[in-house]
Amino acid sequence: MSSTATGLEAVRTFETSWRALQVRKRWLTLGYGLLFAAVFAASAWVGEFNLVKLFQGLPRIHEYVAKTLPVLTLDNLWGDLSEWFYGLPKWLMLLWETILIAYIATLLGTLGALALCFHAARNLSRGGTSYWIARRVFEVARTIPELVFALVFVFAFGIGPLAGILAIAIHSMGGSGKLFAEAVENIDMKPVDGLRATGANWVQTIRFAVLPQVLPNFTSFSLWRFEINVRSASIIGFVGAGGIGQEFYTAISRLYYEDISALIILMVCTVILIDMVCERVRHRLIGKEGFA
Amino acid sequence: MTLRISGIDAAAIARARAISPGAFSQPLRERIPALAAGALFVGLTVYCIVLFEMSPVRLWAGFGKLLEVVGHMFPPTAKGAALDYAYAMLQTVAMALIGTVIAAVLAVPLGFACARNMVPGWIVRFVFRRSSDVMRGVDQLVWALIFVRAVGLGPLAGILAIIIADTGTLAKLYSEAIENIDRKPVEGLRASGASPVQTMRFGVIPQVLPIMLSNILYIFESNTRSATILGIVGAGGIGFFLADRIRTMLWEEACFIMLMILGTVYVIDWFSKRLRAKITGGTDAPTVIH
């Protein structure tokens, strides 16, 4: 009978420790929940956020949005639409400029990232200094928002698209650079060793052992970056750095209500269209599973 | 194995080339698409350079001025306003936190409504998907500009902008996570007679919750960066000071604020990375189209 007794003993030990574990887990959940609630409450206080303000604000948002929408009548639909989109030729030109800004900025940013990413990859960097510098450059470039760069560049290069291009280029160099360096860190090192053994110099090693491995990834990242940069290029106009943003800012501040909705529709359509095209190309490049 | 190359001369190569030209070079017809793409690429770039007047002279002059500005930035000082700046920075982080939390909650029903395996009719899904596209197709700053006009200057406009833009982004990420769940637990639960609510609770939620939390943290990181500029249009936080100091050419203070942003973002990234690794068990960050 002693074996049953020890069996019961074991079950009892299991149950007590399981219960203790449950209690501990519950306390932990409660503790983290309270911590989260406290942080949220503190944030609400610092962020001057409360429900009263929110519910006072909501009707005003509705009012504002209603004002931006034009009156469309069924009998004169075409006339109403053409009145709503009266600035279409000009706006399309500005959208084209926005896309071009994003394009050239992506190109410059990618070239910058390409030049530095091999230094910023732990498996290829040749020394502590160049690694450190490349990493810090990428960090600063991607942490400072493009709009802040644009503010400074507008001062240095004058108002216009050039300031915006350089601002987006620098910011996207930081963003792409980080991804590029990570891709380089994940390569197969055998070709690198092979080329080094044949006496290839650093540039040759990069060109023939590293680049063929990472090029599809780099292209895909750059296309993705282009999508982001189209969005950025549509807002840098707020500080006078070119693109459709300038027009939007004017519409908002001069209360051209119907222009606001028309411009938003155009911007959304452009962004969605570009996303769709880029996604197609990206999937063709590295397969559907490779990149979410 | 020895390789005999003594027999190969110019005539042999010419013979081989005649037999299989494809082994030596791609025929022109197959190279046309690549060539056309290259020409388009170069043409577009040249067009851009001309259109945006990116002349070396102009760039040189600009970089000279830029260097001067950078020279004025050091040493960075706060000129006695360090506490104001720190509070504004804290407000920025608070805005990002509140915005992300509320967006994370609002995106749950939207995410389920956008998921192919949760909603049967395509019309419902189409409507919800397009509305989430519009939410994230418009930049956060554009939303901020609109909300500043609607509810006035201050952090509320910024928080609302974050909520709208990220509800759209998170709904997309959630719906992708939901579409990628393993069907087996769900079918098992249904077979054992579980109600729809129970199926959701024990079959779907446990699979998607870690991914959702990881996405939320990622968006929070991204928001602490993007919230720093909301103040430029008057939507609260550090951006107001930064834009003001740059416009009035107080470079030392502008540099101080930029360094503060760098430090804060660094700390938050580090913290969030650790938390995310704990939640997902070390898998990598999701790629977010933002």
- In SS3 terms, B13-74 reads as HHHHHHHCHHHCCCCHHHHHHHHHHHHHHHHHHHHHHHHCCCCHHHHHHHHHHHHHHHHHHC
Question: What mean pLDDT, rounded, does chain A reach?
Answer: 86
Using a CB-CB distance cutoff of 8 angstroms, which residues of chain A are in contact with residue B87?
46
For this complex, say whether ipTM is above 0.85.
no
The CATH superfamily assigned to A87-286 is MetI-like (1.10.3720.10)
- Our CA-based measurement puts residue B210 at a distance from the nearest CA of chain A, in whole angstroms, of 16
pLDDT confidence bin for B6, thresholds 50/70/90: low
- Our CA-based measurement puts residue A14 at a distance from the nearest CA of chain B, in whole angstroms, of 25
The reported pLDDT for the residue numbered B8 is: 73
Residues 165-204 of B with CB under 8 A from A: 176
**In the predicted model, what is the mean pLDDT of residues A122-137?**
83
Residue contact B52–A61, C-beta within 8 A: no
Q: Tokens 């006009």 correspond to what residue?
A: B149
What is the domain partition of chain A in residue ranges? 2-49, 87-286
- Residue in B closest to A53 by C-alpha: B156
The reported pLDDT for the residue numbered B7 is: 66
The reported pLDDT for the residue numbered A287 is: 57
Task: Note the pLDDT tens digit of each residue in B146-156.
Answer: 888 888 888 89
The reported pLDDT for the residue numbered A168 is: 94
CA distances from A17 to A10, A12, A13, A22, A25 (A): 11, 9, 6, 9, 12
pTM for this structure? 0.82
Using a CB-CB distance cutoff of 8 angstroms, which residues of chain B are in contact with residue A60?
150-151
- Residue in B closest to A270 by C-alpha: B137
Task: Note the pLDDT tens digit of each residue in A278-290.
Answer: 888 877 766 544 4
Task: Closest CB to A43: pick one of B97, B232, B246.
Answer: B97
Does the structure show a pLDDT above 70 at A2?
A: no
The reported pLDDT for the residue numbered A288 is: 47
Q: Calculate the CA dihedral of residues A134, A139, A145, A149 and round it to 10 degrees.
A: -30
Contact of B101 with chain A, judged by CB distance below 8 Å, is answered with yes
- Residue in A closest to B286 by C-alpha: A292
Task: Note the pLDDT tens digit of each residue in B218-260.
Answer: 889 888 888 999 988 888 888 898 888 888 888 888 999 999 9
Using a CB-CB distance cutoff of 8 angstroms, which residues of chain B are in contact with residue A106?
none
Does the structure show a pLDDT above 70 at A79?
A: yes
- Residue in B closest to A147 by C-alpha: B229
Using a CB-CB distance cutoff of 8 angstroms, which residues of chain A are in contact with residue B138?
264, 267-268, 271
Does the structure show a pLDDT above 50 at B61?
A: yes
Residue contact B65–A155, C-beta within 8 A: yes
A contact test, residue of B40, B89, B93, B149 with most A CBs within 10 A: B149
Domains of chain B: 10-71 (no CATH), 85-280 (1.10.3720.10)
**In the predicted model, what is the mean pLDDT of residues A77-96?**
85
- Our CA-based measurement puts residue A210 at a distance from the nearest CA of chain B, in whole angstroms, of 22
- Buried/exposed A175-206: b ≥16 CB within 10 Å, e otherwise: bbbbbbbbbbeebeeeebeebeeeebeeeebb
- Residue in A closest to B263 by C-alpha: A143
